[in-house]
Copies of this chain bind each other. A is one copy, B any other.
Amino acid sequence: MSLENRNQNILLTVDIIVFSVMHDKLNVLLIKRKNPPFQGEYALPGGFVKDDEDLQEAARRELVEETNVKNIFMKKLNVYGKVDRDPRGRVVSAAYIALIDHEKFQLKATTDALKAEWIPYEHIKVLAFDHKKILSEALKELRYDVQTTNIASQLLPNRFTLTELQRLYETILNQELDKRNFRKKIKTFEILKPLNETKMEGAHRPAQLFSFKEKDYQPLKDKIKVFL
C-alpha cells in the first residue's frame, strides 16, 4: 500500500469556532465572506492545512492570519466531510473550538483593524457552508465541557468574583441559576481558590475575588456518573 501513487483530490481545511463571553452574551468570531460562494454571508474563520503542520497548528495559524487572535485555548471538536459541503469541490474540514476571555480580546481589538467580527450567538441565523451545524455542535460541546471540566477558566480574566463566574455559566447555558446552589456546587468542584483581595465597585458590599487553581484543561473528578 504505497502512498505516492494515490490519486486523491480531497482538500483538508480547519475551521475554528472562537467563543467569548462579553456583556452577558455568548459571542462567536466570524468573517464576512468577500467572494462566492456564500458571498456576503458570515463564515467561521479557517483555511487550508499545510503539509507539514499539525491540525491544531493550522488552526492557530489561520486564526492569527484572519483575526490576529493569538495564544488562546483550543480543543479539537470534530471532522466534517460530506461530499457536497463545499460547492467548489471536495473539502474536508477539521473543526476546533477556541476560547478567549473578553479582556484579552479587547486588547487585541484596539491594535488592529480586523476582518473578523464578534457576533452574538443568538443573532446567528445562517452561516456559509455547513458552518451553522458545526457551530451548533460546538456550543453543545462547550455547554458540556463547562459543566464537567475547568474550561471556564479560559473565558474569564485571572481574577473574578463568584457572581461573574455565575453570569458566565448562565450565559453559556442560557439559563438562570440559583445563587446559593451555584456557590455550593462550584465549591464541590474544587477548582477555585480565594484570593486575599476583594473587588470594590459601586455602593455595595465588596466581593471576594477568586482565581482558578489550574489554568490547564482538566476534567472534574467524579462528575457524570450513571452506573458508576
Contact = CB atoms under 8 A, between A and B. Distances in A.
B12 A51 contact: no
Q: How many copies of this chain does one complex carry? A: 2
A32 to B, nearest CB: 14
Nearest to A85: B54
A175 B228 contact: yes
Interface stretch (A18-26, A87-95, A156-164, A206-214): A87-95
Interface residues of A, number: 45
A81 B48 contact: no
B49 A81 contact: yes
A35 B1 contact: yes
Contacts of A6: 11, 48
A227 B8 contact: no
A203 interface: no
A8 B3 contact: no
Nearest to A82: B54
A72 interface: no
